[in-house]
Amino acid sequence: MKKKAMTFFAIVMVAISLGLFVGCSSHSPGSGGGAQDAAGEQLIGAWAWEELSSYQYLFEPEGFGWRGGGIFELETFEWRAEGNNLLIDLTSGSNFEARNIINYERWTYTINNNRLTITSQQEQGLDYSYIRTN
């Protein structure tokens, strides 16, 4: 009986270790580890949409963030910046539901004079501008 318990414990430990390994090697944009390059550090902070200032993005240094406000539902996400590419993973947020929409967003971004402009790399014609609020 003791041998079976030890075998079961060993199997559980291997399964947990594999789960941690697979989870850490995930391709999610933020991976919760603040995986931003030097240019991406410029994104950290709060940004209000030029069209409706109650809609905002908040990029936290650890690679987490949220967006929404006003009449829009708040969405949490993980993010990562590489060069001028902004990757947003909506599957990691507490609000995630299986949807038939894009759950991994890829944007090109620029920051000039505290103005953030993002342009979708997935949907032609989607571009938005935000003003730094902090």
Q: Which helix (H) or strand (E) holds 66?
A: strand 64-69
Question: How many structural domains does the chain have?
Answer: 1
Confidence of residue 101 (pLDDT cuts 50, 70, 90): low
Q: How far apart are CA 116 and CA 50, in angstroms?
A: 10
Mean pLDDT of 67-80: 93
In the predicted model, what is the mean pLDDT of the chain? 76
Query: What's the confidence (pLDDT) of residue 91?
Result: 81
Residue 126 domain boundaries: 2-132
Q: What's the whole-number mean pLDDT along residues 1-5?
A: 44
Q: Are 29 and 36 in contact (CB under 8 A)?
A: no
- pTM score, whole prediction: 0.69
Which CATH number fits the domain that encloses residue 68?
A: 2.40.128.280
Task: Tell me the C-alpha distance between 28 and 104, whole Å.
Answer: 8
Handedness of CA 49, 42, 31, 59 (dihedral sign): negative
Contact 87, 78 (CB under 8 A): no
Question: What pairing do the DSSP bridges indicate for beta strands 45-49 and 127-132?
Answer: antiparallel
